Chains A and B, each alone.
Chain A
Amino acid sequence: MNVVTPFEGIGASLRRKEDFRFLMGRGQYVDDINRPGQTHAVMLRSPHAHATIDRIDTVAAKAMPGVKAIFVGEDMAAEQIGGIPCGWQIHNKDGSPMAEPMHPALALGKVRHVGDPVAVVIAETKSQARDAAEAIVVDYTPLPAVSGTEAALQPGAPQVHDGAPGNLCYDWHIGDKAAQEAAFARAARVVKFETTNNRLVPNAMEPRAAIGDFDSFSGDYTLYTTSQNPHVIRLLMGAFVLHIPESKLRVVAPDVGGGFGSKIYHYAEEAIVTWAAGKVKRPIKWTCERSESFMSDAHGRDHVSTAELALDAEGKILGLKVHTLANMGAYLSTFAPCVPTYLYATLLSGVYATPVIYAEVKAVFTNTVPVDAYRGAGRPEATYLLERLMDVAAAEAGLDKVDFRRRNFILPDQFPYQTPVALQYDSGDYHSTLEACLETAGWAGFEARRAESKTRGRLRGIGISTYVEACGIAPSAVVGSLGARAGLYEVGTIRVHPTGSVTVLTGAHSHGQGHETTFAQLIADKLGVPTANVDIVHGDTAKVPFGMGTYGSRSLAVGGSAMDKAMDKIIAKGKRIAAHLMEASVEDVEFERGTFRVAGTDKTKTLTDISLAAYVPHNYPIDEIEPGLEETAFYDPKNFTYPGGCHICEVEIDPETGRTEVLNFTAVDDVGRVINPMIVEGQVQGGVAQGIGQALLEAAIYDASGQLVSGSFMDYTMPRAGDLPDVGVATHVTLCTHNPLGVKGCGEVGAIGSPPAVMNAVVDALRDYGVRHVEMPATPQKIWGIVNAHRLAAE
């Protein structure tokens, strides 16, 4: 019997179905998969940031034990293998397209960053492949390299690509420059602020891995890969790189241990193992080592920005002007160009009624690992810039930082709100999230706590950030007009089996988000099928019709909405079957949570009665309706979704060591309707952990020669449990007005709202030191430098 307990539907903090498998070590990750006859691949990578490849000698290496094959760039080029494609094209101010240099899977003639793959060795064991890789002789002529974002545009800087003069990828802008200048001319005050958004290494717990498999009987290729979006990989790799039709290429992304964006992109290694499997006629496994992932997984952020805010005499914002340089790294990763443009500059209005905005963004090539979307993608950069600027401006205008924000908020009755930078926010209530957060965080009582810290020689500070973000990406027509080379709808299939259990096929992919639970709750809530009888299938192009995958907090808003639409179709068909069985007219049949009822009567049929009739159609309107009960819906959203809220952070600094401790963190977020509060809490906490990591700890540091100095966990500071407070999470809901579930998304809010809250707290803690700004990450050394300089100046 189908009984849904009240604890299973929307709003229930149901424990995650998938956790049993994960906690028991029974997950099936790519590296757990072993194909019969499998060989192993090792990538030989460039030790140089920039060099010509004069000669590659593989003769001795090929003769080593167990070696099946060694391939270099020329071998792939000889077979017309394409470059790794970019999925988004930005246009320059003058309308011309961005520079889009070829990105060969294996380097051709030149290497452009440390870690650029030069050759692949395929051998019976991984150890043999490593031995042979060490025996390959590569003659390089090192070239001068450029790694810094600003340095890339300096006259005379080393050129990364011949086809990108001056290392410029694009020079783009948005907004009304003339209106901005006019607004600034009227301003009582203009506040200028410069900052760098630090470069980050995503470091998902599971390193990337890929297995290429070729069936010489059928000619079918299979790629098992650590991906957030297997269909996208099939499309990009099949159509642009290897020229394999979709019907001959299966991409499987099984359990994936975290992505944070870094597993969205199509990577060279995926194409290499798939192509090479066809050459050696054996399956090939490649598993990234951690140190290898530092130099081959796409990095995140890396902006240098200047912002200017114009205010009137009352502290109302008149306009905003932003100039940003964004580092693309050595090649364009799949979504790289859209991150500092349409995911960034369009968010610069934030939660404020800013009448005019003008932003220009230049993207540059450097001899570093490609940079692409990382949890939040563009929106953390915008939020950080704006929310630090708000604090700086409040201080300079002599305004209370909370009142200054309140004064400029978009008001609840202004929705839908059109910003001057393309987005139209559908709903939000920034005052309520602000007031709730101030209350929970004990903002009013802070000065007493500051004084108490002072008695212990510690500097206490409090920081706030009020933010909105745009996710649930995205309306296909809109992103198409902005340069996306794909649609961004989602697909859901609901298969009701004869005895009433349900299989859901979704194009979204779960790699930590808990979809197997949340999505089952949607089904339970609407169809009345207990979650135990709902199976969520994802991550396999051979099973799921199509899908665009999981990123940009889109799985529930777009993928969930597709399921909801498919359920509507199931219910509509079910009503027709029920009408036949109960000898009523379709219009009179109602459906609620698993029961079809003839309105106003006690005549009912369960969903199982209907599914049984659909698959055993003995008494069935066979002339009018096909048997079976399975429906698919493609859902293309009408707009982005706009989660927002308020984050407050309290820190304490030890001025003797410079160490900052996060004491409290409070998040009150509006993520739309909440399906599973426990999962939302976990998502926000995870995002905040990464935000605190960016603010206080993490930095990918290149030296001037292009070597990654923080290339391992010995030097790259990952946040650990002990660095984090118990993050308080609450939600305040306004519904999304344009998707059927009213949901907005919660995957990135934590990483978007938190860095400025932390940094505003750090600057507040240092208020007696005459500090206007501290760059991220606020390491102990940096803070001590500020304290020490102040002491020296006083002496």
Chain B
Amino acid sequence: MYDFAYHKPASVADAVKILAADPDARPISGGMTLLPALKLRLNKPTSVVDLSGIAELHGVKREGDKLVIGALTRHGDVASSAEVKAAIPTLAAMAGTIGDTQVRNRGTMGGSVANNDPSADYPAALLALGATIQTDKRKLAAEDFFTGMFTTALEVGELVTAIHIPIPTKAGYAKMRNPASRYSMAGVFVAQTASGVRVAVNGAGANGVFREKAMEAALSANWSPDAVAGVKVDPGLLNGDIHGSAEYRAHLVTVMAKRAVIDAG
């Protein structure tokens, strides 16, 4: 690790002020992504702004027909939240499969969303559920927020503060893990929402998380595993590596979509 200054502000306003004053400062939430990068010296921030002391960023609330999840809510807390389990059980189940116990006890939804790792779980859920990402400045629809691999619409110094998730009629998720990293290699989240059927894919897209419109159409016509079983995904739009070629991933997306529909019931 290179040396850096450490700040622990108590409010979003203070955090934003520190970040605005120094474009090379970085926020840290759970540190599960940022700390390894610092240790490997892949990152050289001048200062690290620890968000964990900001009370307003913690916790899960139900507000009418949506869930509001604070950016600092840990994966383990999402997994065990009575509110999440009641409203979107598959989201709680998904949180329970992220990394391992240590990771779930540190990693946060805000950190995961801001990082937008193409293999991360949450981005597919938020895209499929039509979530809105709230920052210290504005509200962004998930579509507009996730802009590509490890990239988001966040500006330098802008903080994710909460995630608003409309409660779907039904939702399901299935993923094939990368054998080594155990991140998703092809994961599909399906949801019946107020704005129709939505299907989002993680782990496989050459440009990060994406919506699978052909599957959405198939499921709108006929909500059943068989409806997606015949939908082929174009490998040309997908990623390949030593664990899974684009062709294999394309196949897995279809299989996982089927299983996600079964999961949704």
Which residues of chain A have a CB within 8 Å of any CB of chain B? 127, 130, 134, 291, 656-659, 697, 701, 709-710, 713-718, 779-781, 784-785, 788
**Do B176 and A781 have beta carbons less than 8 Å apart?**
no
- In residues 210-265 of chain B, which contact A (Cβ within 8 Å)? 241-245, 248, 251-252, 255
Say whether A779 contacts B243, CB under 8 Å.
yes
Closest CB-CB distance, B116 to chain A, in whole Å?
17
| B86: interface (CB < 8 Å) | no
10 example contacts (A-B, Cβ-Cβ < 8 A) are as follows A134-B41, A710-B242, A714-B180, A714-B181, A715-B180, A715-B181, A718-B180, A780-B176, A781-B243, A784-B251
A781 with B245: CB separation less than 8 A: yes
Known: A130-B41, A656-B255, A657-B252. A781 touches B244 (CB 8 A): yes
Most B CB contacts (10 A, CB to CB) among A659, A709, A714 go to A714
The number of residue pairs between A and B whose CB atoms lie closer than 8 Å in the complex comes to: 42
Which of B3, B40, B179 interacts with A779 by CB under 8 Å? B179
A658 to B243, CA, bound (A): 12
Q: Nearest chain-A residue to B240 (Cβ)?
A: A781
Q: Does any Cβ of A come within 8 Å of B1's Cβ? A: yes
Select B179's contact among A127, A134, A717, beta carbons within 8 Å.
A717
CB of A130, distance to nearest CB on chain B (Å): 7
Closest to B40 in A: A291
Interface string of B167-195 (1 = CB under 8 A from A): 00000000010011100000000000000
Per the bound structure, the CA–CA distance linking A647 and B72 in Å amounts to: 49
- Give the nearest-CB partner of A697 in chain B: B179
Contact yes or no, A701 B242, CB < 8 A: yes
Known: A701-B242, A715-B242, A788-B251. A780 touches B179 (CB 8 A): yes
Residues of chain A within 8 A (CB-CB) of B243 are 715, 779, 781
Q: Is the CB of B181 within 8 A of A784?
A: no
In the complex, the answer to whether B248 meets A781 with C-beta atoms within 8 Å is yes
Contacts of B41 in A (CB 8 A): 130, 134
Residues of A within 8 A of B179 (CB): 697, 717, 779-780
Do A784 and B248 touch (CB < 8 A)? Answer: yes
CA gap between A710 and B181 in the complex, in Å? 11
Q: A291-B40, A657-B255, A785-B248 are in contact. Are A713 and B242 (CB under 8 A)?
A: no
Closest B residue to A703 using CB positions: B242
Instruction: Tell me how far the C-beta of B96 lies from the nearest C-beta in chain A, rounded to whole angstroms.
Output: 14
Determine how close the nearest CB of chain A comes to the CB of B183; give it in whole angstroms: 8
Chain B residues with CB under 8 A of A714 = 180-181
Additional 15 contacts, C-beta under 8 A, given A717-B179, A781-B248? A127-B1, A657-B252, A709-B242, A715-B181, A715-B242, A715-B243, A716-B180, A718-B180, A779-B179, A779-B243, A780-B244, A781-B243, A781-B245, A784-B248, A785-B248
Query: Which residues in A have their C-beta under 8 angstroms from that of B241?
Result: 715
A715 and B182 CA atoms in complex are apart in Å by 10
Interface centre among B3, B180, B252 (most CB of A within 10 A): B180
Interface centre among A127, A130, A656, A713 (most CB of B within 10 A): A656
Q: Which residues of A contact B40 (CB under 8 A)?
A: 291
Name the B residues within 8 Å of A780 (CB-CB): 176, 179, 244
How many Å lie between the Cα of A716 and that of B1 in the bound state? 24
Nearest chain B residue, comparing its CB with the CB of A722: B182
A244 to chain B, nearest CB (A): 35
A127 to B2, CA, bound (A): 8
What is the CA–CA distance of A701 and B180 in the complex, to the nearest angstrom? Answer: 13
Residues of B within 8 A of A291 (CB): 40
Quote the shortest CB–CB distance from A304 to chain B (angstroms): 19
Contact present for B245 and A713 (CB under 8 Å): no
In the bound complex, what is the Cα–Cα distance between A788 and B248 (angstroms)? Answer: 9
Closest CB-CB distance, A757 to chain B, in whole Å?
Answer: 20
A-side contacts of B255, CB under 8 Å: 656-657
Report the bound CA distance from A697 to B241 in whole Å: 15
Which A residues are CB-close (under 8 A) to B244? 780-781
Interface-central residue, A130, A657, A701, A713, by most chain B CB under 10 Å = A657
Asked if A717 and B248 make an inter-chain contact with CB atoms under 8 angstroms apart, the answer reads no
Inter-chain CA distance A134–B1, complex, in Å, is 13
For A781, list chain B residues within 8 Å (CB).
243-245, 248
Contacts of B242 in A (CB 8 A): 701, 709-710, 715
State in angstroms the CA–CA spacing of A467 and B176 once bound together: 35
* Least CB distance, A716 to chain B, in whole angstroms: 6
- Bound form: Cα–Cα A658–B244 in Å: 11
